[in-house]
Amino acid sequence: MRIRRTRGMFGGLLVALLGIWGGLIPFVGPYFHYAYTPDKAWVYTTGRLYLEILPAAGALLGGLIMMAARSRHIALFGCLLAIASGAWFALGNVFAPLWTVANPAGSPAAAGTLHRIFEQIGFFTGLGLVIVLIAAAVAGRITAVPSVAVVDEEPVVDEPVVPATREPVDETETMETR
């Protein structure tokens, strides 16, 4: 079923931008003292791959699919991909001990408690929850909106009825036959 392209455009753009944020902040955050360890810019670790780069790529792809989709099913696939990526951002640190002993994401590099809270929210939990919220809202909007009718052929226009003869009808003849 086709949908209007504007249905997921704004939400898809927001999810894509949040995906870009989630993928770039671990690498550029150390420039302005907003980082997890290792707190050096452009340092790659497997923890960053599993907990930041892959979910960011999923959110970016889901947002782009939501923006470009013309079919309801494709748009919902983009929403589900973004929801899964947001959930991975939010819960990845919880499930990380299943495949490794150490915390693969590192720990917040800040010394102050408030700054550490903002790093956790901006890197993982808050970012993931906002992605899930926006993608779920887009999914709800897509499923609640009626589809656009697909018209492949031209509509049939009723032709005017033309009488068989052009002679005037005598009304007395019609009254007598009743």
Domain enclosing residue 113, as ranges: 5-144
The gap between the terminal CA atoms of the chain, to the nearest Å, is 55
Looking at the domain assignment, is residue 151 inside a domain?
Answer: no
Q: What is the DSSP letter of 68?
A: H
Q: pLDDT tens-digit profile of 85-135?
A: 999 999 998 888 887 766 677 777 778 888 888 888 888 999 999 999 999
Q: Which pTM does this prediction carry?
A: 0.76
Is residue 13 situated within a structural domain?
yes
Alpha carbon 34 to its chain's center: 27
Count the neighbouring beta carbons within 10 Å of the beta carbon of residue 17. 13
- State the pLDDT at residue 174: 56
pLDDT, tens only, 132-169: 999 999 999 888 866 555 555 666 666 666 666 667 66
Helix axes 125-144, 54-68, angle to 10 degrees: 20
Considering its fold, how many domains does the chain have in total?
1
